[in-house]
Structure 1
Amino acid sequence: MSDENTLLLVDGSSYLYRAYHAMPDLRGPDGFPIGAIHGMVAMMRRLRDQELGRDEPASPQARRHHAACVFDAPGKTFRDDWYPEYKAQRAPMPDDLRTQIAPIHEVVKLLGWPVLQVPGIEADDAIGTLARVGAAAGHAVVISTGDKDLAQLVTERITLINTMTDERLDIPGVLAKFGVPPERIVDYLTLIGDTVDNVPGVAKVGPKTAVKWLGEHGSLDGVMAAAGQIKGVTGENLRAALDWLPQGRRLITVRCDCDLAEHVAGWPVIDALALQPVDEAGLLDFYGRYGFRSWRKELETRLGVGAQVAVPSTAPGGQSDLFGGPVVAAAAAPIAPAGSAGAAPALAAVGEAAVAHGPASAQATAQPLARRYETVFTREALVAWIDRLRAAPLAALDTETDSLDPMRARIVGISFAVMPGEAAYVPLGHDYPGAPEQLPLDEVLAALRPWLEDAAAPKVGQNVKYDTHVLENHGIRVRGWAHDTLLESYVLEAHLGHALDKLAERHLGRSGLTYEQLCGKGASQIPFAQVDIERATTYSGEDSEMTLHVHQVMAPQIAAEPGLQRVYADIELPVSAILQRIERKGVLIDPAVLLRQSNQLAQRMMDLEREAYDIAGQPFNMGSPKQIGEVLFGKLGLPVKKKTATGAPSTDEEVLQELAADYPLPARILEHRSLAKLKGTYTDKLPGMINPSTGRVHTNYAQAVAVTGRLSSNDPNLQNIPIRTPEGRRVREAFIAPPGNVLVSADYSQIELRIMAHISGDPGLTRAFAEGLDVHRATAAEVFNVALDAVTPDQRRYAKTINFGLIYGMGAFGLAQSLGIEQKTAKAFIDRYFDRFAGVKRYMDETRARAVETGHVETLFGRRITLPEIRGGNGPRRAGAERQAINAPMQGTAADLIKLAMIAVQDTLDREGRRSAMVMQVHDELVLEVPADELDWVREALPRLMACVAQLSVPLLAEVGVGPDWDQAH
């Protein structure tokens, strides 16, 4: 999140009640209730840490944050005038909570948060207004709340978070949770009603029916217009509620145009809401008055007031640890410059922290872990550590660099650990006034090279692919990577975060110094080379020893489950090494081709603009939704399909697609948008991504992102190059082979359908693949009960849509939309399909039931895909998880197969000493750069190797293409 453009808004009234009900009946020294105060402080601390980092609020970069904690003001609001029964059923605030309101306001201000109460409006309306103003001013707005009503505010710039559940709702998140996009939330809530605020909806209409109606009729207005066509009791109830629904919608809609001038200085500019420094002296007094002894002791230690142990200047961030993890009291020895009298390895002896050993479930019985980090300034100390690395059964390694680009990063320092709690840091490139003399980089790397390149010396790291690149930039090819904690976490818990700080917190109960604490954020961030060496020792030492510590906890959990161990050891670890080689090799790009395509796209975009202006009768900005809306719905009078959260007619892609079927202008706008995206993302951008030292583009393959095991790529994203349009497909023409070589593409054919046939054991599907039939034609013959040679093109198209739709859990509604047919007809097709392919129906039913029982599904090779929402989610989210339960085993197995294919191909290339090399992996496809004299061998070997990586009940088939560029090879 951008530092200077962050606006963090807290629904204080929501926090109040949640804190009160979440905490036990805590009492201060004088018997005063403090449970809600405690919960409020804890949540505000966590939120600030989570969303804004642990920067000292007084620092220049943090001052650019804006924030407000918004509370309901006492008294009536305008909604009470509209509807006297509004919130009438709410119980009065408990006395114990009411007495804590004033102290809560006080401590929130002491924590640096501006506090806002506006008489006459609710906190929601103030938040909505602030969010709209902040977003319009370019802020990334984050609203922390547990109130579902505020989902109507979500836009590309406004996000909701829930600190109780760690839920984050952006536009796709709202759709996934509620089944409708943000601009339909008001309509959705109006239909189901809001019992908390005593706003009636339509009797007997719940979320499922509301989502269905809005999907069928587009909006609340559309539902109301169709009320006469809706049958049954719900239809009667809808018609009975028609007079009420506009009032209900009015009550539920959050106002975003409130005048806050009397409450926010300089309104509508929000500079007055700058996040303030923590009032440490005030907090010290507050904690004492209300009996928060642990927090007071933390602060005393931080300030050196009555503390038992002095905190050195190198404590994380040089700041109060109020906003993060356990406080670590430290007594750091001074660092003697190398070569000085009495020079010795400097120790950052990081006292005792309340750090747990083992998984979070075991933290209650954990013992403190003493930490000692050594800064290596002398050759003698370096040799001693190399001896320790040699003797260790497993050593952790981490590099600190001057860049996140793995192909260009240079080493600033390197750290090691051979046991939890103890590490060494070798500074090699720190450059700031007064920096101590450091050992020469080349000399240190030469001393480390034998150990680094020794395949028999076991090493562990966090994201070892990056460190392998970095050391290879210095001419060292690391061998002996035995473990990667990033991949261990990915295999063990793919649905959770895999950053080291998350792993340490989750499995060890530990937290450490963050990169932002060390270097700052945004424009004020300093390079690692300018970080004080003592602080760098703490940071890098933690990275190494926490990596080793986390590995010791996760490895036994993986080893205890053969399926997970197989996926980790036999798939993910070897694939990581192969991906590093693919990234290193890169792919050749012809910038002249891209330049020509960019010019052609620009010309076509200009033609589209002229055509659009002619149709509209005026020029307008085709990149402006506002101007597009004015032309389409104002001037041309096209029908409004749906509205945005602000009530304006929507011009999103879905609306334009629907309008394009009947009107020419939306079609021109859609084409213009797609060409602009293609031009900006690929044809203009790719030439600038060519590495000047290699002349190639080097993508980064993210291995631990998709829960199904699929790879993703970035810089550039090879997975998302559009291929459904001629212009998109032509981008592949720019990916070329060097002289004397060709590109060879091998793509698994209908891989997920083949996996479906194997997993389900359905005899019809299995037979079709075994006999080499066109599976979609064979499906059509069964579904439509016609001979194979009598299947029409439309019947085959329908069957293909059904085949792939069922893989993704598509129901009758989705199939009807895809085929443009009545839902009743679509259901009949699906019923006939299941009659003919009963094994598929059985697989889907059994898989769904097993997933509900266990909370996860597995691939054929043992990869586990956890589905958190399948047992605990609401209706739409649970339904989405059930669809994922059906698809994930197939998509995950396909991911495992292409990874196994990569391993088989690379092993064969290495064993036979071939010069051919993999240069890309995209979806189910491998792309190789092949010398002309190896082409015949690759044509034969590549599909054979890919087909033999697993024995299924149906044959695996890889189709091979050859060409001078990727487009012709595909």
Structure 2
Amino acid sequence: MNTLLLVDGSSYLYRAFYAMTHLSAPDGTPTNAVYGVLNMLRRLRTDVPHDYCACVFDAKGSNFRHELFADYKATRPPMPDDLRPQADMLPELVALMGWPVLKVAGVEADDVIGTLAHQADEAGMKVIVSTGDKDMAQLVNERITLVNTMSNETLDIEGVVNKFGVRPEQIIDYLALIGDKVDNVPGVEKCGPKTAVKWLAEYGSLQNVMAHAADIKGKVGENLQAALPHLPLSYQLITIKTDVDLQQELPEGMQSLHRRTPKWEALAEHFQTLGFKSWLKEAEAQIGNGNGRGGDLFAAETAPPPAAAVAAPPPVPEIAPAPDKLDYRAITTETAFAELLAKLDAATAVGLDTETTSLDAINAALVGISIAFAPGEAVYIPLGHTPTAAPEQLDLHEVLGRLKPYLESGRLKKIGQNLKYDEHVFYNYGIKLNGIAGDAMLASYIIESHLGHGLDELAERWLGLPTITYESLCGKGAKQISFADVAIEQATEYAAQDADFALRIEGRLKTAMDAKQLEMYQNLELPVAEVLFVMERNGVLIDKDELARQSHTLGSELVQLEQQAYEIAGQPFNLNSPKQLQEILFGKMGIPTKGLKKTASGGVSTNEAVLETLAPDYPLPSVILQNRSLAKLKSTYTDKLPEMINPHSGRVHTTYAQAVAITGRLASNNPNLQNIPIRTEAGRKVRRAFIAPEGSKIVSADYSQIELRIMAHLSGDKTLLQAFKNGEDVHRRTAAEVFGIAPENVSSEQRRYAKTINFGLIYGMGQYGLAKSLGIDNLSAKSFIDRYFARYPGVADYMQRTKELAAAQGYVETVSGRRLYLPGIHSKNGNERAGAERAAINAPMQGTASDLIKRAMVDVLAWLVSDGLKSKLIMQVHDELVLEVPEAELGLVQAKLPEIMQKAAVMDVPLLAEVGVGENWEEAH
């Protein structure tokens, strides 16, 4: 799960100002607030693992709340004179530290944070908001948590209840009742926190408290009745917006909030001026090409906990001294190019990178090639720049013709960053890149899978050096220029640095690997990258006519579902409008809202989880869910896939991302072929459009119950091992054990229960989750789990041992030694820690399954090539391989494919791969 870290810069600005006094720069400028906030950010950068981040400040001037209530914040004193200059300089310093900074006119920092948190939550991300503002508690849910670094307080759902006495979805009601003197938001006179908690415990919401105002006796009841006219306004003022338009500030959406590398030189100048002497020394060490302490300047100053109690990746070797002088040159003349070829003749390994016109590798055209020979020594060959940017360039086809023997040579080793992309680019010109010996991205993925693997981040972590960013040369958004328009001097420095840094980083990462990791890197991940290149290049044939028919059918079904929804609701409405749906379900239809998830604004959510809860009892939520499912299927696949067919190959070419999931699983993008629904008939039908050409068939092979088999191997449970060795139906065997009956007497319902238990326990499901899945009470669910563990004690022992091991060392491992780090295993947040413990149980199984299918892919491709077969690997979907097989090779492939897959690893249980054949993917699966 990706993590977004949001910092409430305005909240911390004031708190830091009053927390620390008497600190100023040599020229007398006060610096206490700046120092306090920067110090907080440097701790957060390393203490809170995250993929995306932003620091948000209030914009100057009034906002929409002042339009609602002219006296909003009217009682606040003006900003202290000592704070004003610090408030002005702080955002720039924060941005230089590598934090994306946001200020949006017309709204407050809270609203920007609320919007980002809501968007990330809807996308399934984890969100951590660093703030001291109590209003933010209204945002907390299962994935959104608050942390206060000044008080070391963490607020999850339980934390909010413990602190305020109300649930997060009641915070707005609570604050509206007690009012906010700081912001001049009126509440109910003499209504303090205890009274507000009491009322909300009895009536549930502000709306119900207001409705029962006449029932509340005494002076406080009179005060409540007197406050009734303004309470809706107070509620509105306290409500954090979650729909701020951020398109202008974040043209690339969440991708605009990736962690960035600090700008050391600019920071050093500021630290000099501000008198931050220790930080200045550290910044100068970074600027000095790695000769200083290195590492991240904004790491925490406190000593780390003992090794036995913290997750610690392999120690980073001391940052090697960088060359005193960089030798980056452009190759634009015949003489220089001849010298380059002579240098390649003598070289045994080089860093390699390409600059292109597109991120779509199969359609990208070359702009230039960079080659590195040693640290600080690299060249750039411009080939596709505009005449204005590069007046002197060598002919592209002439250069490629003379470089081809070197690029295709296995003797000359190539090292880069995501070289699969460059491999595609060269293949576009008829060059098959050979001799790939190292990839910094994959090396990082092996030893630090829980961190980012971009070259900018790797350079910061492993070289202690900043990188030239693409955006700094080309800009971003609508005004972004092509790399072909970048002047040759700047292009050379950027491109040569990429090849140089990739070469350096890969070498340092490799030295940090232990024997198992090195084995996995060289003999699994690098070979898998080659298999992925082949699969991506092969692509898959799509039946456009079949998809057109499905789109038409889905369109008709969507219209019918829409009409059905109108009839149930008694009126037409926008099925995609949460607000309208909320009004109909909980207003007009009066569906009870108790226990349902609330939105940040206090309304009842209409997300998928809520609708699924309601669907068994009410027809409209069921219809809405069907509508959403079919609409997504239509827009994502039946409408979209035909548009993605490559005009040259006539096929769809997905991209497999190799360094994403910490478990080793692959991801498929543009299009995502791994996410086509298989549990619904409409989803399965989409697979009919994945076809074989005339004279061939689609063959699908997948591992049977692979994670259960791995559980048996890891746990060593005798009963489970025996069941697999005997070839029994494991779910039937489990049902027999749990219900205490003979296997032949197990009913289909009992087998279903056992299957849910088997797979649920793999994912760390507890009694509450099992009760919900089976539709039974918690006591019955607990009874099933107790009986399961009594019959399978080895499984219970494995789970306990694994949790203890994860807590002791901070990671777990797959059978082949892939380390799976668990940053949340020591969290003070109970929910986060429990989630990490569940992940610790499941990760070795899912990770081992990923390693197995990867090994099988490598072995299958090696067999196809060595035997000169025309069969093609075209897709990988979790535990399944899909091939396109000529009919003449069908019998051979059906026999040999499962044999290869079953030999991918030697385990204490037999592996089983099942093979299907058909005209299309659905028939074969």
Judged with a 3 Å threshold, the aligned counterparts in structure 2 of structure 1 residues 292 and 856 are, in CA distance, closer, same or farther, namely closer
Q: Match of 2:575?
A: 622
Deviates more, 1:393-402 or 1:868-877: 868-877
Specify whether residues 844 and 292 from structure 1 end up closer, same or farther in structure 2 by C-alpha distance, changes over 3 A only.
Answer: closer
Letter in 1 for 2:544: P
Q: Find the aligned partners of 2:484 and 2:149 in 1 and give their Cα distance.
A: 38
CA distance in 1, matches of 2:445, 2:751: 39
Q: Summarize deviations over 1:362-395 as a string: whole Å, max 9, x none.
A: 6689567532210111122122223323323321
1:821 pairs with one of 763, 770, 776: 776
The one-letter amino acid paired with 1:747 is D
* Number of the residue aligned with 2:448: 493
2:546 is the alignment partner of 1:593: yes
Aligned position for 1:68: 58
Q: Determine if contact 2:377/2:500 at 8 Å carries over to the other structure.
A: yes
Equivalent pair of 1:432/1:529 in contact (CA under 8 Å): no
**How far apart, in 2, do the equivalents of 1:38 and 1:717 lie?**
46
> Tell me, what secondary structure is at the counterpart of 1:505?
helix
Q: Please give the residue correspondences for 1:525-604 in structure 2 after superposition, counting only pairs within 5 Å.
A: 525-558=480-513, 561-604=514-557
Match 1:731 to one of 662, 666, 686:
686
The one of 789, 812, 820 equivalent to 2:767 is 812
Unaligned runs of 5+ in 1: 1-7, 55-64, 83-96, 114-122, 206-213, 226-244, 261-267, 276-281, 299-323, 329-351
Tell whether the 8 Å contact from 1:598 to 1:683 is kept in structure 2 after alignment: yes
- Once residues 295 and 953 of structure 1 are traced to their aligned partners in structure 2, the CA distance between those partners, rounded to angstroms, is 55
User: CA shift at 1:27, angstroms?
Assistant: 5.0
Partner SS state of residue 471, structure 2: helix
**Residues of 2 paired with 1:870 and 1:404: CA distance?**
37
1:386 aligned residue: 341
Question: Match for 1:185: what amino acid?
Answer: P
Distance 1:581 1:174, change over 3 A: farther
Counterparts in 2 of 1:18 and 1:753: CA distance versus 1, 3 Å: farther
Matched-pair contact (CA < 8 Å) for 2:389–2:487: no
Contact kept, 8 Å, 1:620 with 1:627, in 2: the verdict is yes
Shift of 1:137: 14
| CA distance in structure 1 between the aligned counterparts of 2:665 and 2:785, rounded to whole angstroms | 29
Q: Aligned to 1:407, what secondary structure does the other structure show? A: helix
CA contact (8 A) 1:460 1:547 kept: yes
Q: Report whether the alignment pairs 1:128 with 2:110.
A: yes
**CA displacement at 1:154 relative to structure 2:** 5.3
Gaps of 5+ in 2: 1-5, 73-78, 96-104, 183-190, 210-223, 252-265, 297-315
Give the conservation status (yes or no) of the 8 Å contact 1:378–1:439: yes
Q: CA deviation at 1:941?
A: 0.2
**1:156-183 C-alpha deviation (Å, 9 max, x unpaired):** 9x99998989x9x9xxx98999999xx9
Matches within 5 A, 1:463-478: 463-478=418-433
Report the equivalent of 2:326. 371
* 2:89 corresponds to which of 107, 117, 127: 107
> Who is 1:257 aligned against?
237
Partner of 1:601, secondary structure, is: helix
1:257 match: secondary structure: helix
TM-score calculated relative to the size of structure 2? 0.78
Partner Cα distance (1:840, 1:919) in 2:
37
1:483 corresponds in structure 2 to: 438
When residues 793 and 616 of structure 1 are mapped into structure 2, their CA distance, relative to the original with a 3 A threshold, is same
Name the CA shift for 1:31/1:827 in 2 (closer, same or farther; >3 Å).
Answer: same
Q: In the alignment, is residue 917 of structure 1 matched against residue 872 of structure 2?
A: yes
- Counterparts of 1:529 and 1:357, CA distance in 2: 38
Distance, in Å, in 1 between the alignment partners of 2:284 and 2:698 is: 52
Deviation of 1:400 after TM superposition, in Å, equals: 0.1
The CA deviation string for residues 405-444 of structure 1, in whole angstroms up to 9 with x for no partner, is: 0100010001011111121111011015363120000111
Q: Cα distance 1:200–1:687, how it changes in 2: closer, same or farther (>3 A)?
A: farther
CA shift digits 1:857-888 (9 cap, x unpaired): 00000000000110235211110000000000
Whole-Å separation in 2 of the counterparts to 1:780 and 1:137? 42
Quote the offset at 1:269 in angstroms: 10
Counterparts of 1:676-715 in structure 2, within 5 Å, are 676-715=631-670
Q: Which amino acid aligns with 2:539?
A: G
Question: Higher mean Cα deviation, 382-391 or 352-361?
Answer: 352-361
The question of 1:34 aligning with 2:31 is answered yes
Q: Give the match for residue 844 of structure 2.
A: 889
Match status 1:185 vs 2:168: yes
Match of 1:411 in 2: 366
Conservation of the 8 A alpha-carbon contact between 1:12 and 1:69: no
Q: Is the 8 A contact 1:737 1:743 kept in 2?
A: yes
Paired residues of 2:441 and 2:659 also in contact (CA < 8 A)? yes
- Assess, with a 3 A threshold, how the Cα gap between structure 1 residues 706 and 52 changes in structure 2: closer, same or farther: closer
Q: What amino acid is the match of 1:257?
A: L
Aligned to 2:11: 13
* 3-state DSSP of counterpart to 1:949: coil
Q: Which residue of 1 aligns with 2:563?
A: 610
The answer on whether the counterparts of 2:56 and 2:113 sit within 8 Å (CA) in structure 1 is no
The CA deviation string for residues 458-494 of structure 1, in whole angstroms up to 9 with x for no partner, is 1101001000000000110000000011100000100
Residues 412 and 53 of structure 1: CA distance in aligned 2, closer, same or farther (over 3 Å)? farther
Deviation at 1:768, TM superposition (A): 0.7
Q: What is the Cα deviation at residue 904 of structure 1?
A: 1.1
Distance across 1 between alignment mates of 2:56 and 2:80: 28
Task: Kindly report which structure 2 residues correspond to 1:434-449, keeping only aligned pairs within 5 A, or say none.
Answer: 435-449=390-404
- CA-to-aligned-CA distance 1:605-636 (integer Å, 9 cap, x gap): 11111111111111111111111112222222
- 1:938 aligned partner: 893
The SS at the match of 2:361 is coil
Aligned residues: CA RMSD: 5.1
Aligned with 2:466: secondary structure? coil
Tell me, what secondary structure is at the counterpart of 2:364? Answer: coil
Cα displacement (A) at 1:135:
11
Q: Give the CA deviation at 1:46.
A: 13
Matched, 1:831 2:781: no
Aligned match of 1:967: 922
Cα contact 2:13–2:33 (8 A) shared by 1 = no
Q: Using the alignment, how far apart are the partners of 1:769 and 1:136 within structure 2?
A: 45
Once the two structures are TM-superposed, the CA of residue 891 in structure 1 deviates from its matched residue by 0.3
Cα distance between partner residues in 2 of 1:271 and 1:553: 39
TM-fit CA distance, 1:643: 2.6
Q: CA separation in 2, counterparts of 1:521 and 1:792?
A: 61
Q: In the superposition, relative to structure 1, how do residues 536 and 32 fare at CA in structure 2: closer, same or farther (>3 Å)?
A: closer
- One-letter code of the match for 1:28? A
In the TM superposition, residue 453 of structure 1 has moved relative to its aligned partner by: 0.3
Determine the C-alpha separation between the residues in 2 that align with 1:772 and 1:368.
Answer: 62
* Local SS of the residue matching 2:237: coil
TM-aligned CA deviation for residue 272 of structure 1 = 13
> Residue 513 of structure 1 corresponds to which residue in structure 2?
468
Whether the aligned pair in 2 keeps the contact of 1:354 and 1:368 (CA below 8 Å) is no
User: Whole-Å Cα distance in 1 between the matches of residues 879 and 598 of structure 2?
Assistant: 39
Is 1:949 aligned to residue 920 of structure 2? no
Tell me what 1:635 maps to. 588
> Which residue in 2 is equivalent to 1:146?
131
**Residue 149 to residue 31, structure 1, CA distance change in 2 (3 Å):** same
Alpha-carbon separation, structure 2, partners of 1:664 and 1:960: 40
Partner Cα distance (1:272, 1:743) in 2: 46
Alignment coverage as a number of residue pairs: 822
CA distance in 2, matches of 1:966, 1:815: 33
- Is the 2:8–2:113 contact (alpha carbons within 8 Å) kept by the matching residues of 1? no
After superposition, where does 1:870-885 map in structure 2 within 5 Å? 870-885=825-840
| Closer, same or farther: CA 68–534 of 1 in aligned 2, 3 Å | farther
User: 1:750: Cα distance to partner?
Assistant: 0.1
In structure 2, relative to structure 1, the CA distance for the partners of 1:202 and 1:615 (3 Å cut) is same
1:278 equivalent in structure 2:
none
Would you say the 8 A contact 2:138–2:172 is kept in 1? no
1:957 and 1:502 map into 2 onto residues whose CA distance is 41
Cα displacement (A) at 1:127: 3.2
Q: Are the structure 2 counterparts of residues 516 and 46 from structure 1 closer, same or farther at C-alpha, using a change threshold of 3 Å?
A: farther
Partner amino acid for 1:37? V
Distance 1:133 1:704, change over 3 A: closer
Quote the residue 1:797 is aligned against. 752
